[in-house]
């Protein structure tokens, strides 16, 4: 058990390191790296323009930059954001709570709604219900995130509602398909034949079977929620890390982006590892 835990920890750390390096490399070699809109300012002298271009000189060699970043990060120094001129640590501390709250509430709402709808459809088996939920989730999937965010503003609804509407159809469709697939499993047919109630079958024979996939979906939905939070925060003006991520991506702010990416990697890895841990079946001792 200890070995297993240690192995997972090592794997998670590796994922974090590789994720950080990969993200930094992508940012560094993306077009527009080092470009600054001040380069179009006609007031600036050529010396000032040269200084602006050289501002990111230490970031050009990605390997040494990354190693330097890691050694500083160990001491709590996460660098200074080039675009916002503020310590990254301060920026993240201010905003990470906002995003995690937003994501947490949205995920709770989306999962609750999806689970309820799937359970109701399983228990009542009304074609109208099935059709209705298909049309609803289909329509929600077709609405752009911007439109949902705008709708939430128009209706004075909280931002997490827009995010929940983005997550809900995806979660619902997977859950719905997973539970529907178990309908043909031998043990379920046997249970039905024995006259067990729909509720009993659902919670005792269906849910345990799809538990692993559902937990995997839960882990994955953390990553989906964080990605979806970016447009929602940017559009609703919510000062979370999603908004920060978009601003820093457009500014190619490497010090800030590398931290954000590592934060996202850590969240996703943690969520997926947690899901795996929970999904592990205990085998009885022989």
Residues in 208-237 that interact with another protein by CB under 8 A? 212-213, 215-217, 219-220, 223-224, 234-237
Contact pick of 35, 80, 96, 207 for another protein (by CB under 8 A): 35
Residues in 236-265 that interact with another protein by CB under 8 A: 236-237, 239, 243-245, 247, 249-252, 257, 261, 264-265
Interacting residues of 284 by C-beta distance below 8 A, sequence separation 6+: none
In this structure, are residues 137 and 168 in contact, taking their beta carbons and an 8 Å threshold? yes
**Min CB(154)–another protein separation in Å:** 6
**Min CB(230)–another protein separation in Å:** 10
Token duo for residue 1: 């058990």
Please tell me whether residue 197 adopts helix, strand or coil conformation: coil
**Min CB(63)–another protein separation in Å:** 17
* Binding region for another protein (CB under 8 A) out of 64-72, 103-111, 157-165, 169-177: 169-177
Interacting residues of 3 by C-beta distance below 8 A, sequence separation 6+: none
Rounded to 5°, angle at Cα 160 from 155 and 163: 95
Contact pick of 56, 59, 62, 95 for another protein (by CB under 8 A): 95
**Min CB(246)–another protein separation in Å:** 9
* Binding region for another protein (CB under 8 A) out of 64-72, 99-107, 108-116, 132-140: 132-140
Binding mask 112-131 for another protein (x = CB under 8 A): ---------x---x-x--xx
Rounded CA-CA distance 1/5 in Å is 6
Residues in 180-209 that interact with another protein by CB under 8 A: 180-184, 186, 188-189, 192, 201
How crowded is the C-beta side of 110, counted as CA atoms within 13 Å?
31
How crowded is the C-beta side of 272, counted as CA atoms within 13 Å?
14
Phi/psi region, residue 61 (left: phi>0; alpha: psi -120 to 50; beta: rest), is beta
Phi/psi at 136 (5° precision): -65, -50
Nearer to another protein, 75 or 193 (CB): 193
Q: Does residue 108 touch another protein according to CB under 8 A? A: no
């Amino acid at each position: 058990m200890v070995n297993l835990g240690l192995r997972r920890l090592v794997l998670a750390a590796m994922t974090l390191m590789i994720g950080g390096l990969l993200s930094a490399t992508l940012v560094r070699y993306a077009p527009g790296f080092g470009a600054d809109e001040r380069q179009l300012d006609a007031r600036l002298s050529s010396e000032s323009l040269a200084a602006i271009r050289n501002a990111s000189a230490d970031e050009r060699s990605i390997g040494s930059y990354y190693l330097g970043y890691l050694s500083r990060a160990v001491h709590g120094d996460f660098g200074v954001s080039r675009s916002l001129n503020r310590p990254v640590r301060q920026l993240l501390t201010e905003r990470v709570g906002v995003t995690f709250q937003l994501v947490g509430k949205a995920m709770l709402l989306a999962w609750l709604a999806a689970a309820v709808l799937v359970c109701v459809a399983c228990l009542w088996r009304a074609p109208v219900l099935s059709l209705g939920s298909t049309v609803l989730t289909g329509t929600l999937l077709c609405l752009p995130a911007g439109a949902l965010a705008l709708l939430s503003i128009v209706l004075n609804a909280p931002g997490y509602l827009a995010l929940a509407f983005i997550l809900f159809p995806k979660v619902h469709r997977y859950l719905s398909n997973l539970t529907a697939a178990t309908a043909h499993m031998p043990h379920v047919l046997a249970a039905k034949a024995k006259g067990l109630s729909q509720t009993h079958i659902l919670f005792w024979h269906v849910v345990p079977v799809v538990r692993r996939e559902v937990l995997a979906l839960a882990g994955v939905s953390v990553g989906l929620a964080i990605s979806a939070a970016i447009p929602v925060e940017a559009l609703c003006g919510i000062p979370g890390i999603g908004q920060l991520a978009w601003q820093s991506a457009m500014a190619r702010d490497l010090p800030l982006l590398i931290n954000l990416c590592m934060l996202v990697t850590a969240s996703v890895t943690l969520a997926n590892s947690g899901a795996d841990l929970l999904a592990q079946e205990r085998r009885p001792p022989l």
